[in-house]
Structure 1
């Protein structure tokens, strides 16, 4: 891929949070160049805009999972709000905010001192009660340099017999869910990237991956039919929701960290991803989650999405590079 590619040019004509990832993942730019672009996330564009929404006590919207003063009627009528601390931190991680900058260090300290989960009242960096939320908390904490080993230990002990996770385990569920599993896997991967992981966390990641791979990332184990048609349509931001583009991007990141080769069972999802490419070389945003946000970062449903296109292109580049070597 070259910068003269019209899709690459379109991706680069965007926010620093997208540009630095294009430079690193699609153009193989020298590290000093993409790191310089990444540093702009703190001071320009969406990253700076989201940081400007932060409360003085380090939180966003005055709450850990829900905005302060939240009225449940809002969720029923307009959808879940996405402005509180947990979703804002995850968004900054996706943007690639430099985890070593002074702003991050101060934020981590303030959240540790002032943020408490609405469900249970635990201190933020001690984790919540649900596996989905804790998986994302591990991912954010590990990325931003927090010791979240106690949450990791808890998650490794909450696996179900089929190898994955389900937030409804506490209500009696004995089958893992795609969404819960990908949230936990992303957290364990970020923890492993930051610390090397533990034998327990690496084994948990292996069994969670196997849960998804046995199902080709989207199928029912018994019938082979899609477990949920929405898994085949792309949304952004994903928040806690699952789709095959998110799962494929996880497996790419996992393989790059461990040096493993792509698993052939990813092939069906790769084919689905490839066939969704538009004639102009871009990928569409199929749907979005309703609910309050700080600001929009996509062009709208049905329009080409830079975020989804970036994700799809780097997945296919990784997959095709391996295929060409072994052709």
Structure 2
């Protein structure tokens, strides 16, 4: 069996994104599969998931909405206010995806613009004066928010955003997406593993997906991350990877084959290594069942 056949036979959300991003085919949204299971967990009395806004992780309204966004559900999010750079950035991504009116989103963008640090990135703890260095987690969340602001048609603060983006990207690229500048060690052991859902945490695949999604030109600083990705495709697919601890509504993927990780990895390779991408599509693979 080939990897494309597996993805097209997977959950409707995976199938739709495979058709859209790998095959260039439009496909209707569906409330079946994982999306339907998430929707069935919604509490119509409290109008929340998990009876909370930001907690408990990962069944709260915020993180459920993040999961639904990753599955590209058709929906309109509500308005939230939060005083944390990383969380505000993730809210911007949610609200722009839901085409929320620009006033609240622009207020959030103004907040993010205020907190870029001298090294080019962002850190949630900078708001409280406890850090002088940026965080890979927060920096990627802000860059994703800025990309979503432009992608979904918001323009008011685009010039200011574009002034900050190169320094934010350089913050990650100087590290080849994974190394400490001071010692060249891997920043955190788990970032070279690929997770889905990513939650608020950084990993190399999430960074590669960001750069591929904005069609950032290839540069040598991406090469180590791309080589890591290709190595993990050794069996023709990516595994579902480890999960971040916390409560779940349900397990989206129950065997070792990671449909969403595989899809995301193929999207990156389609952008940066067409030959390797084509080879994967033609390779016969054995589907793991455990």
**TM class by smaller structure:** 0.7 to 0.9
Correspondence for 1:45 among 23, 33, 37: 33
Deviations, residues 260-283 of structure 1 (Å, cap 9, x unaligned): 52233111110111111132x011
Correspondence for 1:151 among 81, 88, 108: 108
Question: Does 2:137 correspond to 1:179?
Answer: yes
State which drifts further: 84-93 or 5-14.
Answer: 5-14
Corresponding position of 2:281: none
**Runs of 4+ more than 3 Å apart:** 321-324
> Could you list the runs of 5+ residues in structure 2 that have no partner in the other structure?
278-290
- Taking the aligned partners of 2:234 and 2:275, their CA distance within structure 1 comes to 24
Corresponding position of 1:17: 13
Corresponding position of 1:207: 167
- The answer to whether the 8 Å contact 2:117/2:134 transfers is yes
Q: CA deviation at 1:62?
A: 2.4
- The answer to whether the 8 Å contact 2:241/2:258 transfers is no
State which drifts further: 308-317 or 164-173.
Answer: 164-173
Corresponding position of 2:233: 277
Aligned residues: 270
TM-score (norm 1): 0.78
- Structure with the larger RCO, 1 or 2 (CA within 8 Å, 6+ apart): 2
Corresponding position of 2:286: none
- Which aligned pairs between 1:57-96 and structure 2 lie closer than 5 A? 58-67=47-56, 81-96=57-72
Q: CA RMSD in A?
A: 1.9
SS in 1 for 2:50: coil
- Taking the aligned partners of 1:263 and 1:24, their CA distance within structure 2 comes to 26
- Which aligned pairs between 1:1-327 and structure 2 lie closer than 5 A? 6-29=2-25, 31=26, 34=27, 36=28, 39-40=29-30, 43-56=31-44, 58-67=47-56, 81-98=57-74, 104-105=75-76, 108=77, 111-112=78-79, 124=80, 127-146=81-100, 147=102, 148-169=105-126, 170-194=128-152, 195-196=154-155, 197-255=157-215, 260-279=216-235, 281-299=236-254, 303-321=256-274
Corresponding position of 1:74: none
> Could you list the runs of 5+ residues in structure 1 that have no partner in the other structure?
68-80, 99-103, 113-123
User: Alpha carbons of 1:189 and 1:58: their partners in 2 closer, same or farther (altered >3 Å)?
Assistant: farther
Deviations, residues 144-196 of structure 1 (Å, cap 9, x unaligned): 01131111110111111111111221242111111111111111111111214
Deviations, residues 8-42 of structure 1 (Å, cap 9, x unaligned): 1111111111001111122222x3xx2x2xx11xx
- Taking the aligned partners of 1:204 and 1:18, their CA distance within structure 2 comes to 33
Q: CA deviation at 1:228?
A: 1.5
SS in 2 for 1:168: helix
- Taking the aligned partners of 1:198 and 1:27, their CA distance within structure 2 comes to 30
State which drifts further: 216-225 or 158-167.
Answer: 216-225
TM-score (norm 2): 0.87
SS in 2 for 1:145: coil
